[in-house]
Amino acid sequence: MVQDTLQFGTVGDDIAGGWLPVVLRGLVVLILTAPAVSKFLRYSDRAANFAAYGIPAPEITVLLVGVAQLFAVVTIAAGAAGRLGALVTVPVMLTAMAVDAVNVFNALVLVGCVGIVLLGTGNYSVWEPFRFGE
């Protein structure tokens, strides 16, 4: 006699593995897009801010941070190597918190990026090369 077994997935698995990362992606992209674009549209203002914070080579650093943030926005939004984009963003947010101040926006981006690094990009990802535990 064959015994049928029922296998139940937990709600937490579906949320953490599928939809929570999508929410984190949306949150990070929503918050990070404007500051990333402003590094280029308001370059001289951003460079002056970086200089006021005491960041070395502010003219170059603004461009590097802007490129890193745009890379993160594109990869996280598409779900294509989103973990890499999120990982690149973590030191940027930690530096922003250290030199300026902790605010709701950079804290949300930091938490969102750490979540994406740990959980992946979830449903509707184009490409996720770094999967843990598989």
At 98 the pLDDT is 95
Give the chain's length: 134
Look over the chain and give the mean of its residue pLDDT values, rounded to a whole number: 85
Q: List % helix, strand, coil for the chain (3-state, nearest 5).
A: 70, 0, 25
Q: What is the pLDDT of residue 19?
A: 84
Percent of the chain with pLDDT over 90: 67
pLDDT for the residue 131: 57
Q: What is the dihedral of CA 82, 84, 90, 95, to 10 degrees?
A: -120
Let me know: does 121 contact 27? Beta carbons within 8 Å.
no
